[in-house]
Amino acid sequence: MTKQSQFLSRIALGALALALPQHAWAADAEDHLGPDAILVSSTRAAEPLTDTNYTGSATILSIDDLHQRQTRDVSDALRDVPGVAVSQVAGQTQLRLRGSEGNHVLVLVDGIEVSDPFAGEFDFGTLQAGIGGRVEVLRGPQSALYGSDAIGGVISYFTPSGCEAAPVAGYIEAGSHATVNAALQAGLCRDDYDVSFGAAYFTSDGTPNTRDGLRDIGRDALTLSAKTSADITSSLRLRAVLRYTAVDGDYNDQDFDSTSPTFGLLIDSPGVRYEGEALYALVGLTWQASDNWTHDLSAQAADISRDNYASYGRTFGSEGQRLKASYATTLKFSSGPVFNHQFTFAADAERERYRNTDPFGFAFTGRRSTDNVGLVGEYRLSADRFDLSGALRRDINDRFADATTFRISGGVDAGQGTRIRGAYGSGIKNPGFYELFGYFDGQFIGNPDLRPEKSKGWEVGLDQSLANDAFRLSATWFDSRLTGEIYTTYPAPTFVATPANRTTRSTQQGLELSARAHLGPRVTLDAAYTWLDAEEAGVEEVRRPGNTASAALTWRAPNDVASATVVVRHNGATDDLAFTDPSFIPVTVRLDDYTLVNLNAEARLAPGLTAFGRIENLLDEDYEQVFSYVSPGRTAILGLRAQF
C-alpha cells in the first residue's frame, strides 16, 4: 500500500484495538426481508419504493442476511441472488447479471457510482461488507433511469445511517492462511441529524492459485467510510458520504513462452502484485417544497487509481476520475380515492477522465475524457390492485451518437397473495477508455470508432405469498437481445488484440426462481435457482454457467443466544477462454461444475459479547472459476464480536 494507506490502516486498527474489548455488533433477529422492504435504487424519486409496489425483479440482502452468512466480501453473498454469476480471481472479481457482461452492471455504494473509468466496470473484490450493510439488486435493463452501464441491472450497497448503526460495534476474527479481519462501526442519532463511521480491514497470506503452484497469493484491504444527514430547516435536509478504499494484493501471470509445457497457463510469478486506491464523495440537498413536491440536488466524485508491479518495478498504471451532478424533482397527487400518480424529472451531467500512467513510454499518457448529459422522465401509477410505471431517458454524448432508452412495467395483485408483473425496456453501454484508446501500443490497440452496445429485453414474473407471508415464492422468465457487442479481435498478420463491434446478435434468456420460508419459529430457508441460455450467434458465451443454485438454512436458539447457518452454492459447468494456442488467439475450454458448502455459527458469551466461527468450502472442493486459476480450499475462521 501507499504511505497514505498504511497511515490510515494504522488509525483504523488502533481504533479497533481500543474498542473491541467491550464493543461489537449483533444483528437484530427480526431484520428479515418483510413484505414492505425498501428499494431505494428502483426510482429516481427522492422517496423510495417498497417491494410490494415495484414492478420489476428485485432482491434485497438485508442486514440480517449478511450477518448470518458472515459475509466479508459482498460478492460472496451476491452468489445467492437469482440471475447472478460471479467470477473471482486475484485482482479482479467480475459479476454478470442475466448473462450480461461484467461492465453491463451499474454499481452504486451509498448512491455513488464506483466503477473504474479505465476498465468501465467495478472490481467487486474491493467491496468489503462492513457492519450493518445491506444490498439491493435490480435485474433487467435500468438505463432508462441510470443511463450507460445498466444493461444487466443495478447493484446498490448501503452502509448504515447513524440511526441504524449501534453506538459502537466491532468484531475481530482470525484463521487459516494467517487471515485477520476486523471491522468497526459507530453511529450517533439525534432528532435533527445523524452520523456514522465505519472501518474494515482484511489481511491474509492467501493460498496458491496456480495448478501445482507454491506461491501464496495474499491480499491486504482497507475500507473507511463516513455518512451523515442533517436538517438545515424543517423542509431542507443535507446528506454527505465519504468513502476510501485501498487494496494491496498479489497475483500471478500467465506463461507466454510458446516453448514451455505450461504455455497459456497461470504460473507462479514472484513479485507480481497490484495496488489500488479509490476515494469517493457525495453531497446532496433534499427540499420538501410541499407534502407532494420534492426537489433533490446532488454532486458526487470518484478518484480511482491502480498500479501493477513485477519484481523489477511498476509495469502498468491508470488513473480515472468521475464528476457527476444530478437534479431530480418529484410531484405526487391523487385522482379519486384509488389512483396515486407520481411524476419525476431528473437530469444528470457527468464527466469521466482517464490517464494511462504507463512507466515505459509505450502508450499515450495524456488525459482523455468523455462528457454526458442525461434527461429522464419517470411516471408511476399506484392503485389498490395494480401498479404501472414508465421511464424515458435521452443521453447526449460528446463522443457517441445521442441515445434514447425506455422502460415500461406493471404489476397486478391477483388476490390470494398472488402478484403478476412484467417489464420491457432497453439498455445501453458506452465503450470504456481502454477499449477506445488501448493501454499498451503493440499489445492492445484501442478502437476510437467503437459504437455503444445496445440491448432490449422483456420479463414476466409471478410472486406468491402463503401462510401469512411465512412462505414467499418468485418465478421470472426473461429474454433479451444485445446488438453491437464489443469483443476482442486478433487480426492477421500481427494478431495484435483490438476491440470491435460484432455484427451478430447476442441473446440471453432464462428462468429465475427464489423462495424464502419460515419453517418454524426458529428456522428460515432462503433458496435461489437460475437457468440461463446466453449465446452469441449460436455459440455459448463464456463465464456464464447454465445453472446456478444456492440455499441458506438458518437456525436460531431461543432469545437468540446462538444461531447457525449452512449455505450451499452450486455453479454449473461453463465455458471460458484459454490462450493456449501460439497464435494467441483464444480457444474455448469447459470448466467443471462445483458445489461449495459453508457453515457458520455463533453463541452469546455475555450481554454484548458473541463468539462466532465459520468454515468456508467445508468439503474442500477443488475448482476453477476462471481457466487455470485455482480457487482456495477449506478455510476456518474464529472471532469475537461485541456491541456497546
Longest dimension (CA), the chain: 78
Domain count across the chain: 1
The 3-state secondary structure of 526-539 reads: EEEEEEEEEEECCE
Model confidence pLDDT, tens digit, residues 344-365 = 999 999 999 999 888 887 778 8
Residue 84, SS3 per DSSP: strand
pLDDT in tens, 272-304: 999 999 999 999 999 999 999 999 999 999 999
What is the rounded CA–CA span in Å between residue 543 and residue 87?
Answer: 7
Q: What is the pLDDT of residue 496?
A: 82
**How high is the pLDDT of residue 441?**
63
- Give the confidence band of 442 by pLDDT, cuts at 50, 70, 90: low
Q: Which three cell numbers stand for residue 75?
A: 460478492
Enclosing domain of residue 509: 3-643
pLDDT of 14-41, one tens digit each? Answer: 333 333 333 333 333 333 445 567 889 9
Residue 195 above 80 pLDDT? yes
- Residue 4, pLDDT > 60, answer no
Return the pLDDT at 51: 72
Mean pLDDT of the chain: 91
Question: What is the Cα–Cα distance from 488 to 502, expressed in whole angstroms?
Answer: 10
Beta strands 153-158 and 105-109 are: parallel
Angstrom distance (rounded) from CA 333 to CA 249: 53
3-state secondary structure 11-56: HHHHHHHHHCCCCCCCCCCCCCCCCCCEEHHHCCCCCCEECCCCCC
Return the amino acid letter for 361: G
256-261 long-range contacts (CB < 8 A, ≥24 apart) are: 256/579, 256/584, 258/582
pLDDT at 53: 78
* Residue-level pLDDT at 10: 36
Distance CA 285, CA 344 (A): 16
Q: The CATH number of the domain where 274 resides is what?
A: 2.40.170.20
Task: Report CA-CA distances (Å) from 170 to 17, 110, 136, 245, 518.
Answer: 10, 21, 24, 18, 29
Flag whether pLDDT at 464 surpasses 90: yes
pLDDT at position 27, please?
A: 34
d(CA 66, CA 321): 31
Q: Which residues contact 201 (CB under 8 A, 6 or more apart)?
A: 9, 12, 13, 16, 180, 181, 182, 183, 221, 222, 223
Per-residue pLDDT, 258: 87
Q: What is the 3-state secondary structure (H, E, C) of 111-150?
A: CEECCECCCCECCHHHCECCCCCEEEEEECCCHHHHCCCC
| 3-state DSSP assignment of residue 437 | helix
Whether 12 has a pLDDT exceeding 80, the answer reads no
Specify the pTM. 0.92
SS3 category, 69: coil
| Segments of 521-634 assigned E as strands | 523-536, 539-540, 547-556, 562-571, 574-578, 587-591, 594-606, 609-616, 624-626, 629-630
Residue 191 backbone dihedrals phi, psi, to 5 degrees: -60, -35
SS percent in the chain: helix, strand, coil, step 5? 10, 60, 35
| Residue range 516-528: mean pLDDT, rounded | 95
| Nearest Cα residue to 200 out of 74, 86, 320 | 74
According to the model, what pLDDT value does residue 285 have?
98
C-alpha distance from residue 637 to each of 175, 248, 429 (Å): 4, 22, 40
**Distances from the Cα of 500 to the Cα of 234, 248, 418, angstroms:** 54, 33, 46
Residue 3: CB atoms within 10 A of its CB come to 7
- pLDDT score at 147: 95
Residue 159 pLDDT exceeds 90: yes
Percent of the chain at pLDDT exceeding 90 = 82
- pLDDT at position 184 is 97
Q: Which three three-digit cell numbers place residue 71? A: 459475509
- Render pLDDT for 60-113 as a digit per residue (tens, 0 to 9): 999 999 999 999 999 999 999 999 999 999 989 999 999 999 999 999 999 999
* Mean local confidence (pLDDT), 307-319: 93
Q: What percent of the chain has pLDDT over 70?
A: 94
> What's the average model confidence in pLDDT over 533-547?
94
- Which of the pair, 314 or 32, is modelled with greater confidence? 314
For residue range 118-140, what is the model confidence (pLDDT) as tens digits?
Answer: 888 999 999 999 999 999 999 99
**Confidence band of 13 (pLDDT split at 50, 70, 90):** very low
